[in-house]
Amino acid sequence: MSLDSGKTDIHSLLETVKTLQAEGNLLEASALWQEGIKMWPHDARIHQLAGDVLHTQGYLDQALISYQKSIKYSNNDPFLYFKLGVILQNR
């Protein structure tokens, strides 16, 4: 799946990634969030979803980095700190 920044909004991308992840299509979800980060590099939500997919795939170190970036671009959402704690506990 490929994105066209002129036709894709971030909300559609986020929902598509969530759906793909829920369906277990993690490779396609990963490809999509990677393209999304290129389009919206400072959006906390896409970094959080990247962390969620990476965590599901077992890539804990990369998920940790994604959650840290999400915290950097968010308003210190406490749920993101919880997700960080889960990753650190499972490493």
Query: Which of 15-19, 35-39, 87-91 is the least confident region?
Result: 87-91
8 A C-beta contact, residue 26 and residue 56: yes
Please state, rounded to an integer, the average pLDDT across all residues of the chain. 91
The 8-class DSSP code of residue 68 comes to H
Q: Among 69, 71, 64, 67, which Cα is nearest to 91's?
A: 64
What token pair was written down for 91?
A: 């490493």
What token pair was written down for 65?
A: 């980095």
pLDDT digits 0-9 by tens, 44-81: 999 999 999 999 999 999 999 999 999 999 988 899 99
Taking the C-alpha atoms of residue 36 and residue 30, their distance in angstroms, rounded to an integer, is: 10
What's this model's pTM, rounded to 2 decimal places? 0.86
3-state secondary structure of 61: helix
